Structure 1
Amino acid sequence: MSEKRLKRKKLHKKLFTKNRLVILNEDTFEETFSLKLTLMNVFVVATLGAIFLISVTTLIIAFTPLREYIPGYSSTKLKKDAMELALKSDSLTTILKKNQAYISSIQKVLTGKLDYAKFNKDSILAVPLDSVPKADLSASKAELELRAEVEKEEKEAQQSSVKKKK
C-alpha cells in the first residue's frame, strides 16, 4: 500500500513540477521568450491540439469537394446521374415489356392462334405487368376502440364548449 502511495506521489511530483522554457538570442544571450510549464500542461495542450487538428481535418474533408479525392467517395454529380439513369432504365424496361406483349399478341393473330374478336390493343396495354397482392385494410379491434374513445372525447369537448358559450 505504501509503495503505491509513494509511486503516486512521485508521478504527481513529476507531472506538476514547474519548469522554465527559455528562448535566448544566441549572439547576445538575451532572453527572447520565457515560459513556466509543467509536464501536465504540455500533455493537455498537445492533446487538445491533436483533437483540434483531427476535427478540423475531418470537417474540411466532409464538407468540401476534397472528399472526392478519397477512394470510396463519389461525387454528387455522379450519384445524381446514376439515379437518373436508373429511373430511365426502369421506364424503358416497362415500355419494352409492353411492346413485347403487343408484338406477341399480333404474332398470335397473324398465325391464327387467336380469335379476331378477342384482340384489343387497349386491353393488352391495360394488363398489369407486375401484380401487387391486395392488403387487408380492415380496422383492427384496437383501432376501433381508439376511434370510439376519440369520438367520446370529441363529444365531451364539444358539450363543454357549448356550456361555456351559454
Structure 2
Amino acid sequence: MRKQKTKLAKTLNMRYKVVVLQEETFEEKASFTGKLWYWITGVSSAAVIVVMLTIAFIRATPLREYVAGMSLNGFERSRLIEAYTRIDSMEQVAAANTIYLDNLRQVIAGQAGETLEQAGGQHIAGKTTNPAPPAVADVGLSKDELALRQLVESGAPYDLPENPEAAHTGISSYTFYSPIKGIISSNFSAKEQHYAVDIAVKLNEPVRTTLSGNVVFASYTPETGYVVIVQHSNNLLSLYKHCASIIKKVGSFVRGGEVIAFAGDTGELSTGPHLHFELWHNGNPVNPTDYIAF
C-alpha cells in the first residue's frame, strides 16, 4: 500500500510540458509546463465553471422550459394557475350553456336535440301545411315541464310582472329591426293574455331577426307550428311563430335583420298567413310596437 502511494505521488508530481507547434514548420509557438496534478486540477476546475455557467444561462433564459426538472418561479406559477383557472371556468360556462339550451328545447318542444332544416310548405285552400311535421313527444318530461310547454304553446311562457312597465327598463336604447312588414291584425294585450303582435303578410314572406343573437330553438310544435326563438343580450328573447319554414339551426349566430324563416300558417292556433312575434325581457312580456314599426 505504501509503495502504491509513493508511486502515485511521484506520478502526480511529474512535470509535463504542453507545446504548441506550427503544423508546417514545427516552429514552437507556445509551451506550458506543470506537474500532472496541476493539469488535473485545472481541467476539473474549468469543467465545473463551464457547467455552472451553462446552468446559470439556462435558468436565466426561456431555455429552462425545455429542461426537465426546472421548477417555475412564483410569478410564472401564478400565471399558469390563472390560465388553468380560466380554462376551467370556460368549460363550466360552456357546460351550463349546453344544459340551458337542451332544457329550453325540451320544455318548449317536448323533444331533445332535434333541429329543423329548411322545410318546404304547400298551400292548400288558403292554409299552409308542411309535409310530415315531426311528432312532439312528451316522454321524459316532468309535470312542471309539460305545464310550462302548454303555456308556451298558448302564448304565455312566463308569469306576468306585477309592474308591466318594469319590463321596458333597459332595452329602450336598442335599435330593433322589424321582423317583417305587414298589417297588424292583432295587437299586444296583457288583459287578453295575448303577449305578441300578429302581422298579416303574404305566404312565404322572409322573417328577419330583430336583433343579433343565438338561435336557441328552431322546431315544430302542434299549436304554434314552426317556431324560432333567438336569445339576445341583456336577457332578451324574441319569438317567431307559425312560420312556413325555418332556415336556421339551433346554436346558429344571427345578425340583426338576417333572414331566419319564412312566414306561414302552420299550427292549430293559426287562422291565416301571418307572423306571431313576441319579445320577452327578464322573463316578462314586452309590447313590440313600443320599439318596432311594422
- The structure with higher relative contact order (CA 8 Å, sep 6+) is 2
Bin of the TM-score, shorter chain as denominator length: 0.3 to 0.5
Name the structure with the higher helix share. 1
Greater strand share, 1 or 2? 2
TM-score in terms of structure 2 length: 0.27
